[in-house]
Chains A and B, each alone.
Chain A
Amino acid sequence: MEQNCYITFFSIHQAIRAEKLLETERYKYKMVPVPRSISSSCGTALQYKCQDITTLRDFLRERNIEIDGLYRVKEEKLRTLSVEILS
């Protein structure tokens, strides 16, 4: 089983804005297709390791990125086991 955290955005513009802001930062993230189990949002989500997720969330919020949702997802063999909505 693996665990990932996802940040979703209302629009791709906000997603790419987030990516641009993070480019020069130390965060190690990936832009990935949004898992169907969480939200339709804008199709692209930011995937991030869960331990530092609130730091990353705050970093984006401070820069006025419109975040749609924040999720912790447990996955196994390409299937979602559980989704936890974080705030």
Chain B
Amino acid sequence: MTGNKNNIYFDNAATSWPKPEAVYRSAEIHMRSAFGNPGRSGHTRTLAADRLIYSVRERMANFFNIADPARIAFTLNATDALNMAIKGLLEKGDHVLYTAMEHNAVLRPLARLKTEGTIETTMIPCSEEGMPDLDFLENAYRPSTRLLIINHASNVVGTIAPARKMIESAHQKGVPVLVDSAQSAGCIKIDIQADNIDLLAFTGHKGLLGPTGTGGLYVRPGLGLKPLREGGTGSQSDLEFQPENMPERLEAGTLNSTGLAGLLAGINYIQERGLGNIHEYEKKIRAYLYERLFDIKGINIFGPPEADRCSCVISFNLGDTDCGSVGHILESRYGIFCRTGLHCAPYAHRSIGTFPAGTVRISPGIFTTTNDIDYLIKALKEIATLAGI
């Protein structure tokens, strides 16, 4: 039953596909025109690469309404940025608050620091819909609390956290906030200045439509981080230690300029189509998907029903079937790609009541059509029948 010719991609929460045509072109043109190593040497090809990096940084700053683009360090992805923030900020004795919806990109760095005796942590429980318990948060601060980490939109159920309220609460206690925007950037508006975000981790290859290997960390002015990596920056080479100034503070080694060239085209696409229009389109698609899924006998859908409370993700199970088997049939028989299992977010699944079984996750993207969804529904109905539901 393999070799189905359909190619219906419902795994945009893992990485978006397809990318806008310009993203492929931009990365290819960059690589072919033999740009130099950004920041190294001083010849014109290096300068061309420098100008490219500069414009991507400037464009990212514009996209997130960041006043000083130099406060953005480019990273490999959101995981890299989260590690940079967590390990760069926290000192021995610090206490950290985080939500149960966090991805392993947050949970695992925290677990290690905790086990090593460096930090203490408190997890903010979340409802079955994935909403953090704000009353719990209010009472969880300690004098040693140094950081609150917010999963902006859940990769399992899409639930958008009440980030502004949580940031306000943390700031009242003098606690900086790290926002993980892996699932929200490019879908939900993020305004660093209006939202008052201290640290923002983003990835380039999901909603921002760029290639893998791109991402970044915004660090509020005045917040100093220890570097996660140290090495060449092409600047102040006589210094024994990593320079203090951003972005070099956090950027050691050659940047992924080819990837960033692609990312720039992704951001261009989003700004041309309009972030608001993209969000509206995704809400429409998610609402349609939710409504159609509801038709399927024996289905359990998780997360909030309302599309405006979510990013473009839906998790479900068909009766008591194994989500992995459903995912396998979707691909082998119907050519539909989705993600099943725990999605690197064990406590999110505990919150929604699907641990350890996991769920089938459908994550449409900006190129998904209602026809694609109709085809998925037809497939799921047949699978439900096959499973005797």
Contact = CB atoms under 8 A, between A and B. Distances in A.
Contacts of B42: 31-34, 43-45
Interface stretch (B33-41, B93-101, B149-157, B268-276): B33-41
B247 interface: yes
B39 A14 contact: no
Interface in B41-75: 41-43, 46-47, 50-51, 53-54, 57, 69-70
Nearest to B72: A13
A43 B41 contact: yes
A12 B236 contact: no
Interface string A15-32: 111011000000000011
A55 to B, nearest CB: 24
Contact of B245 (A16, A17, A45, A66): A66
Given A33-B42, A43-B40, A44-B42, A12 B57 contact: no
Interface in A11-65: 11-17, 19-20, 31-34, 40-45
Q: What DSSP secondary structure best describes chain B's contact surface?
A: loop
Nearest to A32: B42
Given A31-B47, A33-B41, A10 B238 contact: no
Nearest to A16: B54
Contacts of A10: 235-236, 243, 245
Which 9 pairs between the two chains have the least Cβ-Cβ distance? Answer: A33-B42, A42-B235, A16-B54, A40-B237, A12-B39, A44-B42, A40-B238, A43-B234, A13-B70
28 contacts: A10-B236, A11-B243, A11-B245, A11-B248, A12-B39, A12-B50, A12-B53, A12-B54, A12-B235, A13-B70, A13-B247, A14-B70, A16-B51, A16-B54, A17-B54, A31-B42, A40-B235, A40-B236, A40-B237, A40-B238, A41-B236, A42-B39, A42-B236, A43-B42, A43-B46, A43-B234, A44-B42, A44-B46
